[in-house]
Amino acid sequence: MITITSGKGGVGKSTTTANLAVGLAQLGKKVVAVDFDIGLRNLDMILGLENRIVYDIVNVMEGECNLSQALINDKKTKNLYFLPASQSKDKNILDKEKVATLINKLKEDFDIVLLDSPAGIEGGFEHAIFLADRALIISTPEVSSVRDADRVIGIIDAKSKKAKDGDEVIKHIIINRLKPEMVEKGEMLGVEDVLNILALPLIGIVPEDEKIISSTNMGEPVIYSDSLAAQAYQNIAKRILGEDVSFLELKSKKGFFGRLFK
Ligand SMILES: Nc1ncnc2c1ncn2[C@@H]1O[C@H](COP(=O)(O)OP(=O)(O)OP(=O)(O)O)[C@@H](O)[C@H]1O
Ligand SMILES: [Mg+2]
């Protein structure tokens, strides 16, 4: 079970969850993407599955339907399933035991459970990280985002079940919305600046890419397109499965200046 999380909101958790879910499924894994942002769901829109929702995760946890009635099988990528969040309820409805029962069932049925966590560090977030085996922490290269990510890393280390059992959640950083031109001009933190603060291994850099916005509006994850962001997500999916893939060389359009991260 991999939780996709961040300190600051709006940094790209849901976008990352959708694209990595497709990417991992394309690599042959049976994947379920779970929208854990109860009350504010939007993973359904990014995946283009909002019209197919009948039941949601709260209905499953409350016993109002069974899991297979709530799961939506993606038509384009057959190995991919989606479990929507509820829109009418709020995060306080989550109950630790019921969440555990559901997640353990998903772990039995799928190779990979990808969980999109809500913004903030309140109740919903703690449920989202509690049973995680791995966490992908998303940060943009902005000081506020990095600082909040650092805080979240501390909470994962303190509050996850693994940590409580004396084990450790495997944690990696994804830097999202990097703008090479701004880094070159010294106007944005670079990859190494971020990693120096967070002191965790990097698993991917996703550039700022307008295609992400149009893809989200069209309900087709950007990973299906021919774009730098798509390549970045494909690479992250491979790295999650242990493949050694080198990092993209992100350069400004002018093309001068070398590699931002080796
Ligand atoms: N690399 C990128 N390039 C351009 N736009 C991006 C990129 N990543 C995310 N976005 C845009 O940023 C916005 C926020 O992304 P997203 O909804 O994935 O964030 P989030 O962390 O899930 O937000 P929340 O905390 O509210 O759940 C969206 O409009 C998305 O299209
Ligand atoms: Mg989100």
Q: What pLDDT digit, counting tens, does each position of 196-252 carry? A: 999 999 999 999 999 999 999 999 999 999 999 999 999 999 999 999 999 988 777
Tokens of residue 78, six digits: 């057959």
Output 121 or 29, whichever has higher pLDDT: 29
Counting residues of the chain whose pLDDT is more than 90, the rounded percentage is 84
Q: Give the type of residue at 99.
A: V
Helices of type H across 135-205: 143-159, 161-164, 180-184, 191-198
pLDDT in tens, 161-204: 999 999 999 999 999 999 999 999 999 999 999 999 999 999 99
- Cα 259 from Cα 261, distance rounded (Å): 5
pLDDT of res. 253: 64
Handedness of CA 181, 183, 184, 190 (dihedral sign): negative
Distance 83 CA to ligand 2 centre (A): 14
Which tokens hold the place of 227? 């774009």
- Centre a 10 Å sphere on the Cβ of residue 78 and count the other Cβ atoms it contains: 10
Residue ranges with CB less than 5 Å from ion ligand 2? 13-14
Ligand 1 binding site (Cβ under 6 Å of any ligand atom): 6, 9-15, 37, 42, 119, 176-177, 206, 208-209, 212-213, 216, 229
Tell whether the model's pLDDT for residue 261 goes beyond 60: no
Tell how far the Cα of 255 is from the centroid of ligand 2, in angstroms.
33
Distance 178 CA to ligand 1 centre (A): 13
φ, ψ for residue 104, nearest 5 deg? -65, -35
Q: How far is the CA of 148 from the centre of ligand 1 (A)?
A: 16
Q: Specify the ligand 1 atom closest to the Cα of 118.
A: 27
